Amino acid sequence: CGKSSVQKIRIVGGQPSDLGAWPWLAVLGYRSNRNPTTQWLCGGALVTSRHIVTAAHCTRHPSLSLFKVRLGELDLDNNVNDGANPIDVNIERTIVHPSYNPQKYTDDIAVLKLQNEVPFSRNIQPICLPTTSELREMSLTKKFPFVAGWGSVQFKGPSLTALQEVQVPVVENEECRRAYKAKGADIISRQLCAGFALGGKDACQGDSGGPLMLPHAGSYYLIGVVSYGFRCAEAGFPGIYSRVTSYLSWIEQNLK
C-alpha cells in the first residue's frame, strides 16, 4: 500500500497532479431523482480493494444520493485527453461513524464498502493506514503532508476539473483552537489541523472527504480526512481534518 509511481519533491503552493501520483484518490458521485447526471462532490481514499475512507458529511446530502465512486481519475472533464482510464464502482454500503455530530463536525468519518473488488493497477492502489505503533505515536506537528483533490468543498462541486495537489504544515491543536475560537468552533483531540497561518493556496485543492497523506519510509499513509475549514485558505484558519489514528480500530472493524 501507499506506493506512488510519481516521485515528489517539496511543493510550495498548489500545482496540477500527474497521472498515478495519488492512485488511492477517489471522487464520490451523486445523483438526484430529477437529474440522473452524476455530480462529483467529495473525495475519499481507497484503503482496501473494496473500501473507501471519506468524511461522514459527504454521505448526507439534502437532495442528492451518494451512489458510486470513481478511481484512477486525473481530469474530470471527459473531453480532456489525460491518459487516465478511470473506473466507476457502485457503493454497496455506507457506514457512518456512530458518534458523528453534523452540527459540530466531530467524528466526521465514514467507510464506503464497494459492490465489488477493484483491480489494482499503476493508477489504482490503496493508501496505507497508520497502524504501526511508530505512526500512531508520532508527533505530526511540523510535518508537511500532502492534500490533493478537485476542490469540491462543502458540496459546491469541483472548482477545477484537473486534480491539484499541495503540501501543508500540520499545526498544533492548541494553536488551531485559538484560531477557531472566534468562530465558536472547538477543536478536539480527534481532529487534526493543517495549513498556513497566512492562508494562501493551501486548501482550495483539497476535497471534502479527501485524504491528508504523509510520506513515511517510502510509502504514503492516510493521517487525516478533510472535514471543514476550507474556505479556500482563509488566513489564520487552517483546514480541519478527522485524525485517522483516533479511528483505526473503528475503521478496521468496518473493513470486513
Work out how many domains the chain is built from and give that number. Answer: 2
Q: Which three cell numbers stand for residue 231?
A: 474556505
Among residues 95, 126, 157, which one ends one of the domains? 126
pLDDT of residue 180: 82
Which helix (DSSP H) or strand (DSSP E) does residue 96 occupy?
strand 87-96
- Residue 158, in any domain of the structure: yes
- Residue 13, in any domain of the structure: no
pLDDT of residue 93: 98
27 and 105 inside one domain: yes
pLDDT tens per residue, range 70-102 = 999 999 988 899 999 999 999 999 999 999 999
The DSSP letter of residue 57 is G
pLDDT tens per residue, range 17-39 = 899 999 999 999 999 989 889 99
41 and 56 inside one domain: yes
Query: Residue 200: is its pLDDT beyond 70?
Result: no
pLDDT of residue 35: 87
238 and 146 inside one domain: yes
The DSSP letter of residue 212 is E
In this structure, what CATH number is given to the domain that contains residue 83? 2.40.10.10
Catalytic residues: 57, 108, 208
What's the first-to-final CA gap in the chain, in angstroms? 18
What is the mean pLDDT of the segment spanning 194-214? 73
95 and 199 inside one domain: no
- Residue 254, in any domain of the structure: no
93 and 169 inside one domain: no
157 and 112 inside one domain: no
41 and 142 inside one domain: no
227 and 140 inside one domain: yes
Radius of gyration of the chain (CA): 17
Per the structure, the complete domain to which residue 212 belongs is given by 133-245
Among residues 104, 126, 148, which one ends one of the domains? 126
Cα 210 to the center of its chain, rounded Å: 1
152 and 118 inside one domain: no
- Residue 62, in any domain of the structure: yes
Among residues 78, 108, 126, which one ends one of the domains? 126
- Residue 219, in any domain of the structure: yes
93 and 184 inside one domain: no
- Residue 47, in any domain of the structure: yes
59 and 146 inside one domain: no
pLDDT tens per residue, range 101-151 = 998 889 999 999 999 999 999 999 999 999 999 999 999 998 999 999 887
- Residue 11, in any domain of the structure: no
pTM (two decimals): 0.92
114 and 44 inside one domain: yes
For residues 116 and 89, is the Cβ–Cβ distance under 8 A? yes
- Residue 15, in any domain of the structure: no
